[in-house]
Chains A and B, each alone.
Chain A
Amino acid sequence: SAVISQKPSRDICQRGTSLTIQCQVDSQVTMMFWYRQQPGQSLTLIATANQGSEATYESGFVIDKFPISRPNLTFSTLTVSNMSPEDSSIYLCSVGTTSSYEQYFGPGTRLTVT
């Protein structure tokens, strides 16, 4: 399984600002994903990060709010833009295997917006 790291591990931000979260994988992977986990809730997929092209967003998530970059097969970033307290969540990146679609997750970034 891949080893996934995320930076920062946590942050406290003021409303109206933006935060960029980094996800680094120790091997080249085809599929990378970004999830949000709001307090007390389960995980919701934000988007699939596509290498060299625009991310594919799920219903309810837009590029202007959550721009994603994926410059290569081991790295991706998620930006949470113009933050509000409702954006306070854990943000997780994951990678998926092409054979069984099994997913492995990073440690998450805990974001608090005040």
Chain B
Amino acid sequence: KQEVTQIPAALSVPEGENLVLNCSFTDSAIYNLQWFRQDPGKGLTSLLLIQSSQREQTSGRLNASLDKSSGRSTLYIAASQPGDSATYLCAVIYNFNKFYFGSGTKLNVKP
């Protein structure tokens, strides 16, 4: 069974810091990988999708990288803001109905 691990489970940083969230997966035969943000008690907001043929994707202050061979992805957040406080989830995609989610990293950005 595919396992997706996210480290750290929780992170607290002062505003303005750059930070890295990690996602690792056991089966490297992925189709794509998707990063999400979830605010408390809410649904998921898609942040970035990285296709298996890509090494990274960027959107504003967010940059996600993918290293299939080592089973790792990172989400880099530049110049963090209090509004970035949320739980960040990565999902590894093997097929249209084979999504495996990590347990998330809960980020708190202090003003």
Indicate the size class of the contact surface on chain B.
20 to 34
In the assembled complex, the CB of A111 is this many whole angstroms from the nearest CB of chain B, namely 12
B51: chain A residues at CB < 8 Å are: 100
- The verdict on B99 contacting chain A, using a C-beta distance below 8 Å, is yes
Interface size class of A (residues with CB under 8 A): 20 to 34
A-B contact count (CB 8 A): 59
Taking a contact as CB atoms closer than 8 A, the residue among B31, B32, B103 that contacts A42 in the complex is: B103
B65 near A: Cβ within 8 Å?
no
The majority secondary structure among interface residues of chain A is strand
Contacts of A42 in B (CB 8 A): 89, 101-104
**Pairs A–B under 8 Å by Cβ, sample size 12:** A1-B46, A56-B97, A92-B43, A103-B34, A103-B91, A103-B99, A105-B36, A105-B45, A105-B46, A107-B42, A108-B41, A110-B41
CB-CB nearest 6 A-B residue pairs: A105-B44, A108-B43, A107-B43, A42-B101, A105-B43, A43-B101
- A residues touching B (Cβ–Cβ < 8 Å)? 1, 6, 31, 33, 41-45, 48, 56, 90, 92, 94, 96, 98, 100-108, 110
